[in-house]
Amino acid sequence: MRRVIVLRMSAYTRQAMALLFDRTANTYDALGVDFFGVFARELLDRAGVAPGERVLDVGCGRGAVLFPAAARVGAGGSVLGIDLSSAMIERTAKDIEDRGLANVSVSLMDAQEPTLPDAGFDVLLASFVVFFLPDPVAGLRSWHRLVTPGGRAGVTTFGADDPRWAAVREVFKPFVPPELAWTLAVRSGLFATVEGFGQAVESAGFTGVTSVERVYPVKFADPGHWITWSWSHGQRLFWELVPEDRLDAVRQAVLAELEPLREPDGSVVLAQTVRYTIAHRG
């Protein structure tokens, strides 16, 4: 199975990315690590999501943004989540049903160019998805038209990597083929600096663009916990690129690199920088 996946990924299609997330959907954000939910709540605060608003959550995944957004907009508002992973959509739809939420829905849709009516949302939120798009600026442009004039968008991306974890990232690099080098670059190019990303957002038509970066300590019980967690989201790609017969050696190499980073209680802590960008449709 892994070989087939890698071949598809070398061709790099958005569908392959969606299939990657299909394989994470089961344990995504559910392994006892304070991660996507923490950043989602801060995004909602910064975007100022208010009762009665119509919200679009682009790349909704398992609902880290979607569910708190639904609570904030209340019965008088609405939240639509879109994602290209059918497993994410199916599981999140089930959660919506189980929670009996009438103001939330999800739809299988490509974030590169969502097929939604113009100006249908007061707020567009996109947490950790824009860098998966083949053409992020074109994606941002298509998101701009979905926001009502006077409305806003809130986008989260990653800031600089934790330098203490550089050796762990290096372990995976030899297995990443050139055609997938972009997956290592979600913090470079367009995304490298606050200023550069701000300009990209402006070039897509948004105005009043502001970004803030915050660093969060993300705690893992031990190095093995980080490994298990890293299979449960986009990082899984790097594990899947490792040939089957090298997996154990790579796992051991990661454990060896993380050992010196252990805290007195055995845990390891990643300093995660997150960038929140808020933009407006004039």
Ligand X SMILES: C[S@@+](CC[C@H](N)C(=O)[O-])C[C@H]1O[C@@H](n2cnc3c(N)ncnc32)[C@H](O)[C@@H]1O
What single DSSP character describes residue 259?
Answer: G
Q: Rounded distance, CA 153 to CA 201, Å?
A: 10
Closest to ligand X by CB, 20 vs 209, is 20
Residue 239: CB minimum distance to ligand X, A? 15
- Nearest CB to ligand X, comparing residues 40 and 261: 40
* Distant-in-sequence contacts of 187-192, Cβ < 8 A, 24+ apart: 187/158, 187/159, 187/160, 187/161, 190/136, 190/137, 191/131, 191/157, 191/158
Which C-beta is closer to ligand X: that of 110 or that of 202?
110
What's the token pair of residue 180? Answer: 């997938």
The arrangement of strands across the sheet holding 78-83 comes to 104-108, 78-83, 54-58, 121-127, 147-158, 268-280, 207-220
Residue 236 or 255 with smaller CB distance to ligand X: 236
Q: What is the smallest separation between the CB atom of 113 and ligand X, expressed in angstroms?
A: 9
**Complex with ligand X: residue 19 or 242, whichever CB lies closer:** 19
Residue with smallest beta-carbon separation from ligand X? 61
CB of 203 to ligand X, least distance (A): 20
Q: What's the min distance (Å) between Cβ of 137 and ligand X?
A: 14
Please, what is the minimum distance in Å from the beta carbon of residue 15 to ligand X?
Answer: 9
Name the minimum Å distance from CB 259 to ligand X: 28
**Residues that bind ligand X in the complex, under the rule CB under 6 A:** 14, 17-18, 21, 29, 36, 40, 59-61, 64-65, 83-85, 88, 110-112, 127-129, 132-133, 233-234
Nearer to ligand X, 39 or 220 (CB): 39
HEC-encoded secondary structure of 262-282: CCCCCCEEEEEEEEEEEEECC
